[in-house]
Amino acid sequence: MLYRNYGKTNEKVSTLGFGLMRLPLSDGKIDRSKSSELLDYAISRGLNYLDTAYPYHNGESEEFLGEYLKSRNIREKVFIATKLPSFLIKTRDDFEKYFNEQMKKLQLDYVDFYLVHALNKEYFENVKSLGVFEFLDSLKAQGKIKHVGFSFHDKLEVFKEIVDSYPWEFCQIQYNILDANYQAGEEGLKYATDRGLGLAVMEPLRGGRLASNVPKDIKELWDSAEVKRTPAQWAFKYLWNNENVDVVLSGMNDFDQIKDNIDTAETTDANSLSHSETELIEKVKEKYISKIKVNCTACRYCMPCPMGVNIPKAFDYLNNASLFDDLSTFKENYIKSLKDKESPVNCIKCGKCETICPQHIEIRKSLEETISVFNL
């Protein structure tokens, strides 16, 4: 495993981190046996960064991780990152309430990396007005957290404002082949690292979409390279090629994914791609961008919908129909898989989903397009 210095934290983190938001399931719950085996393997290969958060798996992720750590004598071998749910904070007391609940679930005396989760303009102004900086200072002074950061979903100017507002030590942004100019993007990444912040990347495969169901014309582009790689390998190498990216978080849920990602991580240094390889990636970017209908990463922050609409599912089929230029197949599959309560026709346009969408998608408008395209 390769390691990089995590900005001003001065910690050496594995370039691949394990994101615990897409663990394998059994009967709708985390499959704890299989998930533990995956973590055992990853850690045995040198991965040392475990990333969770309060809402992951409806609150079960932190609890699972706490039980896992208690059953293994590995606490000093790994870094634990979790996040303050900024979107749930209503009062000053909520900071303490959620942190204490998290520590109880994790069964820890301290966490290595504590992030203010999913900051945008609204959430940032709210937590700032309630004294989040003083709260973070207090936790750090007590030794309950070692390093302070934030994760982000908003516009570039908001990102810069947040970076400059507090002596953060690291940050976490959405960044991948398609998102170099989206949200914080490349400019925000450089802005943060120039100020000494460690940089963690989330959604490296855009919810898996850059690795699976790859359009034929894009696959042909990848296959035209002299060195043959899978789309997932290309996506990860693109990130690790950037010397400012310290750790890439992947929500891995089977052994094939973990083995492949670790193998790729172990062989990818910064600035290791050739000029022709970076040119190829740019061609792939342009082709993808021309095809995507809705900029959804299936993060599921919009769920559950009050009316039961399965929003990510609707956009997944809409995008796939466009990506593969195969409306009839995806229309048939969508209708077959769609439960009555999940249908976009049930949308009452309340707009609740749009207020919490990290991608700021016009969800109501896009659901109307889904209804029209699939003739629901």
Got the DSSP string for 85-118? -GGG--SHHHHHHHHHHHHHHHT-S-EEEEEEEE
Q: Residue 82 above 90 pLDDT?
A: yes
- Out of 64-73, 75-84, 282-291, pick the least confident: 282-291
Which of 242, 265, 284 corresponds to the end of one domain? 284
CA 293 to chain centre: 20
Average pLDDT, the chain: 95
| One domain, residues 19 and 92 | yes
Domain-located, residue 141 = yes
216 shares a domain with 67: yes
User: Average of pLDDT values for 35-53?
Assistant: 98
Domain assignment present for 38? yes
Domain annotation covers residue 18: yes
Does residue 211 register a pLDDT over 80?
Answer: yes
* Same-domain check for residues 276 and 324: no
Mean pLDDT of 250-262: 96
- pLDDT for the residue numbered 194: 98
Do residue 118 and residue 261 come from a single domain?
yes
Same domain membership, residue 13 and residue 150: yes
The pLDDT score that the predictor gives to residue 207 is 81
Residue 36: pLDDT band by 50, 70, 90 thresholds?
very high
In a domain? residue 161: yes
Residue 263 shares a structural domain with residue 319? no
Indicate whether 277 and 318 sit together in one domain: no
Which residue type, as a one-letter code, is found at position 259?
Answer: K
Residue 302 belongs to a domain: no
Same domain, 13 and 148: yes
How many CB atoms sit inside 10 A of residue 285's CB? 18
pLDDT at 179 over 90: no
* Lowest-pLDDT range of 91-100, 163-172, 180-189, 288-297: 288-297
pLDDT tens figures, 274-293: 999 999 999 999 998 888 89
Give the span between the Cα atoms of 56 and 262, in whole angstroms: 23
Q: Is the backbone peptide bond immediately before 304 cis, with ω within 30 degrees of 0?
A: yes
pLDDT at 324: 76
Q: Are residues 279 and 349 in the same domain?
A: no
The CATH number for 177's domain is 3.20.20.100
Task: Identify whether 236 is part of a domain.
Answer: yes
Same domain, 275 and 330: no
Split into its structural domains, the chain has a count of 2
Q: What is the pTM of this model?
A: 0.84
What is the reported pLDDT for 358?
Answer: 87
Picking from 266, 284, 302, the residue at the C-terminal end of a domain is: 284
**Of 233, 249, 284, which one is at a domain's C-terminal end?**
284
pLDDT band (50, 70, 90) for residue 77: very high
Q: Specify whether the CB–CB gap between 106 and 73 falls below 8 A.
A: no
* 321 in the same domain as 271: no
Q: What's the pLDDT at 214?
A: 87
Confidence of residue 339 (pLDDT cuts 50, 70, 90): very high
> Which structural domain, as residue segments, surrounds residue 230?
3-284
Do 251 and 103 share a structural domain? yes
Query: Predicted confidence band at 209 (pLDDT cuts at 50, 70, 90)?
Result: confident
